[in-house]
Amino acid sequence: MKARTVRIHAAGGSEVLRIENDDLPAPAAGEVTIRHTAIGFNFQDIYTRSGLYPAPLPTGLGTEAAGVVEQVGPGVTDFKVGDRVCYASGPMLGACATARNYPVARLMKSPDFMKDEEIAAILLKGMTVEYLMQRCYQVKAGQYVLMHAAAGGVGLLAGQWGRHIGAHMIGVAGGADKVTLARQNGYEFCIDRKTEDIAARVKEITAGAGVPVVYDSVGKDSFEASLNCLQPRGYFVSFGTTTGAPPPVAAGTLQKMGSLYFTRPTLVTYTASTQELRDSAAAVFELFRQGALKVSINQRYKIDDIAQAHADLETGKTTGSSIILPA
């Protein structure tokens, strides 16, 4: 089967992206060949391309897609040709392609009530929210929760998920339009980082108490504010570095600021087993079915426009979810 695959041979800016023509071999034992219909696009693709997330080179990009099974490898019994399928979170890169071979141990059947574009736009981001808010730190009804990048793909879903739980969601976004978008997606409060002091506003909203948990995907630029928003024994959950890595956290700092917890989790760790992966996806699918989660596909790019997609996401021009269309 022929495939067009986005690949890099060296780390760098969007100029290192290449679209290459491949002849896919027959699927090996435990694999299927998938023809992609929609591909998820996430900031981890930027991290891989730039070298922040090291990968053996050359490498494909992307860990999330939806599609249709075209061929089944030896020993595969759970999937058949024609099945609608989807995957996210590894184990290997290469989702940004028109087709690929993929292990069934990391594969899921697409729910009938969702379109492929919706799945590609929500699955990895929704699973990220699931593990952050349900397992890394379990958010409870009535709690105040601070989420940076509230108008991004993960941020919008987190606002909706938190509202469903009954939490008081506080978002941080950049600019009036993004603040409005966040408030439309579950945030009871939203702070404009361009014009407001984040920590001061959080203290005002929480009557001086601070929040029990901060979810921070920004990194260096938001580090101090995140620490200063936490109440004693609060959790600083750092899950991204869009502005660069946060500085090292001294144990003494955590002690002096109220016996704080600092963690740097990844979706890969929280979906390491097939069961964890499928349970996390099932939780996302169920909340979508209930109407608690709605996906905002605000950018669609053709695979030939992959460099533009990277540039737009990296410079903060996007909102909500972006997807890549193979055709």
Q: Tell me: the pLDDT tens digits for 61-93? A: 999 999 999 999 999 999 999 999 999 976 689
CB atoms within 10 A of CB 115: 15
225: helix, strand or coil: helix
Q: Report the candidate in 139, 125, 145, 236 with the shortest Cα–Cα distance to residue 191.
A: 145
Query: What is the identity of the amino acid at 6?
Result: V
Using CA atoms, how far residue 87 sits from 37, 67, 221, in Å, is: 12, 9, 32
DSSP 155-209: HHHHHHHHHHHT-EEEEEESSHHHHHHHHTTT-SEEEETTTS-HHHHHHHHTTT-
> pLDDT tens-digit profile of 31-53?
999 999 999 999 999 999 999 88
> pLDDT tens-digit profile of 125-162?
999 999 999 999 999 999 999 999 999 999 999 999 99
The predicted pLDDT at position 243 comes to: 87
Distance (Å, rounded) from C-alpha 259 to C-alpha 250? Answer: 12
Cite the DSSP H helix spans in the chain.
43-50, 116-130, 153-165, 176-183, 198-205, 223-229, 251-256, 267-270, 274-290, 306-314
Residues 43, 76 contacting (CB under 8 angstroms): no
Distance (Å, rounded) from C-alpha 78 to C-alpha 37? Answer: 21
Q: Which domains does the chain have, with CATH numbers?
A: 2-122+271-325 (3.90.180.10), 141-264 (3.40.50.720)
Using CA atoms, how far residue 230 sits from 149, 235, 241, 259, 281, in Å, is: 17, 7, 19, 10, 30
Q: Averaged over 237-245, what is the pLDDT?
A: 91
**pLDDT-derived band of residue 241, with 50, 70 and 90 as boundaries?**
confident
